[in-house]
């Protein structure tokens, strides 16, 4: 086999399908986010980022930066080991306590990313509980799917957010068989939200554990930023809450929060927890500061929701087709990978607006979209420029508009 030819032809196929990924090379401007510099070879241009998961701008929050600077000067750069071999620093322990408190759980366990936390926790739980069946929502994130696959446990995929289908699948299993229902609260591509209470009711009825990915909700929802389950008073009914420190909290890392024994079990058996260097102490300190801030400050959450509502209303006003949903994610549907990339390229080149096209396999073919994530740090002028640019592009490219709402 000619290996290089294989790589090249696979990439050619991806390009032909319009699914080849091109990264924008950004230089974030601390204090001026969502504004950044976009590098292209030796030239740079100013851009406004409209697709970041740093939903609240916590990545530049003074409390977070001060905590990180302080910890960096106090502890140095890296943790220096795995958690077991010298890498558990005081800052890791404080962060895990902060997370357990955030979710009202006995304990929490930190991982190097949200991806790793899902992969390791689901892989370990489903893999080690004898005869465990995982009931997985059809739109679960790749990290959950990989964790479940890695566990080699039996897997049943239920239709997205469909309680009847979930119940039919639960009912088809013996009551005594161990079951784990794996799902998300806010689904990040469509922005819809799971019926958490009803899923917990089914879990009780059929004696199942629940595993909830709140990655796109922590920091953003609930009185203290505990997520949708906190907002709905359901945290105590979820067996495992999983989250990230890399999105609304603005830093990096992932975690689970659960009972002390469950966390201890994953700590003791999960390869993806055990055999990797712990996060730098400064990262742990920054994440803890971010969580602490958002536990008491609601200004960011309120401004976030207000910005989202405003952008949505403005898009509706000019007929740009976007999917209504109860969250902060605004999917502007294009439905074609080549067009989606083309619009994104024009936004960047002609308007200094960066919105990454979302294509297959992140979303199903035919549902290619621009995923807009407004934040409290987008100014009125940023919003005006976004709306003006989309308006102009929709005319220039003769894209379909939504029927205008009846007056
Ligand atoms: C981003 C994401 C993850 C992974 O979190 P990271 O901290 O970015 O690794 C997990 N689940 C969902 C639903 C996500 O969107």
Domain with CATH 3.90.1150.10 in the chain: 20-49+299-401
Q: Give the whole-angstrom CA distance, residue 314 versus residue 308.
A: 10
Under the banding of pLDDT at 50, 70 and 90, the label for residue 277 is very high
Residue to substitute in 112, 115, 253 for testing ligand 1 pocket (most ligand atoms within 8 angstroms of CB): 115
Q: Give the whole-angstrom CA distance, residue 335 versus residue 154.
A: 34
pLDDT in tens, 315-356: 999 999 999 999 999 999 998 888 899 999 999 999 999 999
Architecture in CATH for domain 62-295: 3-Layer(aba) Sandwich (3.40)
pLDDT in tens, 178-217: 999 999 999 999 999 999 999 999 999 999 999 999 999 9
34 touches 57 (CB < 8 A):
yes
Tell me the catalytic residues.
Answer: 247
Query: Residue 396 burial by CB count (10 A; 0-12/13-18/19+): exposed, middle or buried?
Result: exposed
Nearest atom, ligand 1, residue 143 CA: 10
Q: Pocket around ligand 1: residues whose beta carbon is below 6 Å from it?
A: 113-115, 118, 141, 143, 184, 188, 213, 215-216, 244, 246, 254
Supply the pTM of this predicted model. 0.96
CATH topology of domain 20-49+299-401: 3.90.1150
Closest CA to 155 of 164, 165, 145: 145
Structure tokens at 305: 């929701």
- Distance of CA 56 from the midpoint of ligand 1 (Å): 16
Q: Give the whole-angstrom CA distance, residue 135 versus residue 24.
A: 37
DSSP string, 351-381: H-EE--EE-TTTS-TT--EEEE---TTS-HH
Q: Whose CA is nearest to atom 13 of ligand 1?
A: 141
Beta strands in 150-202 (DSSP E): 154-158, 179-184
Q: Whose CA is nearest to atom 6 of ligand 1?
A: 114
Nearest atom, ligand 1, residue 253 CA: 7
pLDDT in tens, 76-135: 999 999 999 999 999 999 999 999 999 999 999 999 999 999 999 999 999 999 999 999
pLDDT in tens, 208-241: 999 999 999 999 999 999 999 999 999 999 999 9
Kindly tell me if the per-residue pLDDT of 406 is higher than 60: no
Q: Whose CA is nearest to atom 8 of ligand 1?
A: 114
Nearest atom, ligand 1, residue 245 CA: 7
Closest CA to 281 of 47, 51, 30, 73: 73
Structure tokens at 42: 């030796």
- Distance of CA 5 from the midpoint of ligand 1 (Å): 33
Q: Give the whole-angstrom CA distance, residue 180 versus residue 173.
A: 12
Under the banding of pLDDT at 50, 70 and 90, the label for residue 401 is confident
- Distance of CA 203 from the midpoint of ligand 1 (Å): 24
DSSP string, 234-289: -GGG-SEEEEESSSTT-S--EEEEE-HHHHHHHHHH-HHHHTSBPPPHHHHHHHHH
Closest CA to 240 of 265, 274, 220, 271: 265
Domain with CATH 3.40.640.10 in the chain: 62-295
Kindly tell me if the per-residue pLDDT of 405 is higher than 80: no
- Enumerate the β-bridge partners of residue 243: 255
Mean pLDDT, the chain, integer: 96
pLDDT of residue 404: 55
Under the banding of pLDDT at 50, 70 and 90, the label for residue 402 is confident
pLDDT in tens, 45-88: 999 999 999 999 999 999 999 999 999 999 999 999 999 999 99
pLDDT of residue 371: 97
Q: Whose CA is nearest to atom 5 of ligand 1?
A: 114
Helices 299-317 and 380-396: crossing angle in degrees, nearest 10, is 30
- Distance of CA 9 from the midpoint of ligand 1 (Å): 30
Query: For 104, left (φ over 0), alpha (ψ -120 to 50), or beta?
Result: left
């Amino acid at each position: 086999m000619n290996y290089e030819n294989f790589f090249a032809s696979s990439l050619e196929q991806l390009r032909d399908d319009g699914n080849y990924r091109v990264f924008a090379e950004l230089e974030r401007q601390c204090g001026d986010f969502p504004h950044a510099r976009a590098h292209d070879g030796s030239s740079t241009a100013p851009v406004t980022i409209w697709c970041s998961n740093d939903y609240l701008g916590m990545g530049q929050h003074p409390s977070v930066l001060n905590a990180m600077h302080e910890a960096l000067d106090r502890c140095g750069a890296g943790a220096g080991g795995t958690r077991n071999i010298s890498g558990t620093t005081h800052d890791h322990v404080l962060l895990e306590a902060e997370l357990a408190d955030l979710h009202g759980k006995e304990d929490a366990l930190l991982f190097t990313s949200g991806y790793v936390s899902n992969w390791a926790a689901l892989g370990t739980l489903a893999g080690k509980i004898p005869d465990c069946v995982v009931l997985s929502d059809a739109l679960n994130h790749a990290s959950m799917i990989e964790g479940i696959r890695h566990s080699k446990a039996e897997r049943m995929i239920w239709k997205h957010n469909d309680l009847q289908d979930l119940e039919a699948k639960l009912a088809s299993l013996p009551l005594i068989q161990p079951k784990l229902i794996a799902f998300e609260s806010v689904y990040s591509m469509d922005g819809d939200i799971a019926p958490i209470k009803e899923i917990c009711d089914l879990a009780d009825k059929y004696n199942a554990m629940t595993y909830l990915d709140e990655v796109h909700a922590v920091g953003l929802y609930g009185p203290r930023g505990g997520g949708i389950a906190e907002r709905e008073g359901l945290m105590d009914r979820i067996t495992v809450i999983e989250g990230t420190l890399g999105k609304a909290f603005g830093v990096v890392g992932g975690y689970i929060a659960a009972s002390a024994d469950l966390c201890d079990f994953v700590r003791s058996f999960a390869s993806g927890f055990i055999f990797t260097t712990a996060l730098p102490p400064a990262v742990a300190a920054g994440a803890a500061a971010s969580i602490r801030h958002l536990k008491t400050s609601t200004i960011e959450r309120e401004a976030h929701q207000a910005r989202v509502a405003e952008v949505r209303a403005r898009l509706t006003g000019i007929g740009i087709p976007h999917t209504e949903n109860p969250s902060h994610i605004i999917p502007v549907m294009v439905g074609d990978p080549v067009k989606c990339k083309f619009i994104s390229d024009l936004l960047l080149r002609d308007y200094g607006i960066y919105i990454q096209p979302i294509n297959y396999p992140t979303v199903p073919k035919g549902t290619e979209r621009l995923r807009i994530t407004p934040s409290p740090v987008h100014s009125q002028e940023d919003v005006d420029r976004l709306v003006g640019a989309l308006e102009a592009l929709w005319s220039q490219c003769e894209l379909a508009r939504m029927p205008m709402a009846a007056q």
